[in-house]
Amino acid sequence: MALGTMAMLGSTANAQKVAFEEFDLDNGLHVVLHQDNSAPVIITSVMYHVGAKDEQPNRTGFAHFFEHLLFEGTKNIERGEWFKIVTANGGNNNANTSDDRTYYYEVFPSNNLELAIWMESERLMHPVINQIGVDTQNEVVKEEKRLRIDNQPYGNIFKAIKQSLFKNHPYRWTTIGEMEHLDSATLDEFKAFNKKFYIPNNAVLVVAGQFDNAQAKEWIKKYFGAIPKGEPIKRQKFEEAPITSTINATWEDPNVQLPMTLAAYRTPSMKTKDARVLDMISSYLSDGKSSKLYKKMVDDKKVALQVGAFNNSQEDYGQYIIYSLPLGDVSSESLLKEIDEEIVNMQNNLISENDFQKLQNKFENNYVNSNSTVEGIAENLASYYLLYGDINLVNTEIDIYRSITREDIKEVAKKYLNPNQRLILNYGPAKEKTAK
């Protein structure tokens, strides 16, 4: 390595600390304010602690369906007006759903904070849930599923993995859910779901950007304060028995031509230190051209077109997924063999000091970038508060990564990444149906 580079290692990263203020309203709504006056922008977001894992097994897709339904209108916002109001005031907005939570946000020029707070409070206070809205969004969600999943090469990977890794936990179904479940759901069921989960004491409101602190608080109290507290949610805990022998599965996808080989492991909650160690292991294996799997399989041996490892960390469990596309006629077995060699190596030997320093640098860089936009900071604050239970992680999570040792990497690889703990998925082209 160049001497210059070594010299530069001396200085330490000094990412700006994210300053924030938090308080609770009487109805249990948690509020977080983060001021940043560098641009005339204001982000108003609400994260609700409801996701696909809160659904009934015969009513999957509900949480995501709400992400559509709750744009249909409120008592004071007529159907079809939501997007128009946002645009007419120069803003943009969207929402997204995961297995753990649902997130709604508006980004406006900073003179529209009151409007944004009002809109989000309207959504929580009295959304209009009627048959027209349900029927329209039912069709829209089906199109979304066709667009993003059924018409996309490799679109059903998560479905294939989740149904094998989870037998008991609601992570076994997909976020978008089964369309038959949505078809058979009644209007009353949708209303009941809203009443149960869309309550102030199951949400966090974040206001971030350029605003006047006292004014913002006044508006928040005025619009959100009027909303009654909901019945506290009783959540069921789902435990999975450990996987003790390899699960083999196949999936046929008519949209693909190249077979993909995947190994997936069930890993612990994103809140644990082990989950963060697994993030580092992913980086070690496949982030960058010098990463172990990329360099060996794509660059040197030329057996793979692609190889990747990532830790899909979630609130209750994670899915650790390694995937590879072959180059030419390379078999699934030989791809797996190459992957396993590196894992075994990690389990038996400490990674090199140089590789370890490389990981530290990468995570330092990720950390600086994760708080680089006000939009990003707003979402981080909401997630750390609502899902991780520790909002200070916005500034301190990097310390957890910094505390990880080479020994930790070895131990975690040994603990979770064994052949008998995993799913081997062969995700390939659909076989031609024989003509009758």
Partner 1 sequence: MKKYLYIAASLLVTITMQAQDRKMPKQGPAPSININKPETFTLENGLKVMVVENHKLPRVSFNLTLDNAPFAEGSKKGVTDLVSAMIGNATEKISKDKFNEEIDFLGANFNFNESGASASGLSRYSARILELLADGALNPLFTQADFDAERAKIIEGLKSDEKSASAIAGRVQNVLTFGKEHYNGEFTSEETLKNVTLQDVINHYNTYFVPGNAYLVVIGDVKTKDVKKKVEELFGADVWKKATAPNLTYNDPKDLQYSQINFVDVPNAVQSEISLINLSKLKMNDKDYFAAILANQILGGGGEGRLFLNLREKHGWTYGSYSNLGASKYISKFSSTASVRNTVTDSAVVEIFNELKKIRTDLVSAEDLKNAKAKYIGNFVMQIEKPATIARYALNIKTLGLPEDFYENYVRNINAVTPEDIRNAANKYFLANNTRVVIVGKAADVLPGLEAMSAKEKMPIFYFDKYGNKVEKPVVKKEIPAGVTAQSVIKKHVDAIGGEKALKAVKTLFVISKGTIQGQTLDMVSKTSNKGMSSTDVTMKGMSLMKQIIGDKTGYQTSQGQKKNIEGAELVKEKKEAVPFIELALLADKTIVLSGIEAVNGQDAYVIQVNTSKYFYDVKTGLRVAAENEAGEGDQKRKVMTTYADYVDVKGVKVPYKTTLDVGMPLEFITQDVKINEGVTDKDFE
Site for partner 1 in 124-153 (CB under 8 A): 135-140, 142-144, 146-148, 150-153
Question: Applying CB under 8 A, which part among 5-13, 197-205, 262-270, 398-406 lies near partner 1?
Answer: 5-13
Using rule CB under 8 A, residue 96 touches partner 1: no
Using rule CB under 8 A, residue 280 touches partner 1: no
* Pick 4 or 242: Cβ nearer partner 1: 4
Give whole-number Cα distances, 31 to 118, 293, 378, in Å.
14, 44, 11
Restricted to residues 293-352, the positions that interact with partner 1 (CB under 8 A) are 295, 298-299, 302, 305, 325, 327-328
Question: Applying CB under 8 A, which part among 59-67, 188-196, 291-299, 339-347 lies near partner 1?
Answer: 291-299
* Pick 138 or 269: Cβ nearer partner 1: 138
Give the total of residues touching partner 1 (CB under 8 A): 93
CB of 95 to partner 1, least distance (A): 11
Using rule CB under 8 A, residue 378 touches partner 1: no
Restricted to residues 197-226, the positions that interact with partner 1 (CB under 8 A) are 210, 222-223, 226
Using rule CB under 8 A, residue 168 touches partner 1: no
Residue selected from 45, 112, 201, 314 as contacting partner 1 according to rule CB under 8 A: 112
* Pick 147 or 233: Cβ nearer partner 1: 147
C-alpha 371/C-alpha 359 separation (Å) is 19
Residue selected from 201, 291, 332, 383 as contacting partner 1 according to rule CB under 8 A: 291
Using rule CB under 8 A, residue 358 touches partner 1: yes
Using rule CB under 8 A, residue 23 touches partner 1: no
* Pick 46 or 325: Cβ nearer partner 1: 325
* Pick 164 or 291: Cβ nearer partner 1: 291
Using rule CB under 8 A, residue 434 touches partner 1: no
Residue selected from 35, 371, 418, 426 as contacting partner 1 according to rule CB under 8 A: 371
Residue selected from 17, 23, 57, 87 as contacting partner 1 according to rule CB under 8 A: 87
C-alpha 276/C-alpha 399 separation (Å) is 11
CB of 190 to partner 1, least distance (A): 16
Using rule CB under 8 A, residue 250 touches partner 1: no
Residue 218: CB partners within 8 Å, gap ≥ 6? none
* Pick 144 or 411: Cβ nearer partner 1: 144
Residue selected from 33, 205, 256, 394 as contacting partner 1 according to rule CB under 8 A: 256
* Pick 350 or 430: Cβ nearer partner 1: 430
Using rule CB under 8 A, residue 187 touches partner 1: no
Residue selected from 17, 21, 26, 90 as contacting partner 1 according to rule CB under 8 A: 90
3-state SS record for the chain: CCHHHHHHCCCCCCCCCCCCEEEECCCCCEEEEEECCCCCEEEEEEEECCCHHHCCCCCCCHHHHHHHHCCCCECCCCCCCHHHHHHHCCCEEEEEECCCCEEEEEEEEHHHHHHHHHHHHHHHHCECCCHHHHHHHHHHHHHHHHHHHHCCCCCCHHHHHHHHHCCCCHHHCCCCCCHHHHHHCCHHHHHHHHHHHCCHHHEEEEEEECCCHHHHHHHHHHHHCCCCCCCCCCCCCCCCCCCCCCEEEEEEECCCCCCEEEEEEEEECCCCHHHHHHHHHHHHHHCCCCCHHHHHHHHHCCCEEEEEEEEEECCCEEEEEEEEEECCCCCHHHHHHHHHHHHHHHHHCCCCHHHHHHHHHHHHHHHHHHCCCHHHHHHHHHHHHHCCCCCCHHHHHHHHHHHCCHHHHHHHHHHHCCHHHEEEEEEEECCCCCCC
Restricted to residues 413-432, the positions that interact with partner 1 (CB under 8 A) are 429-430
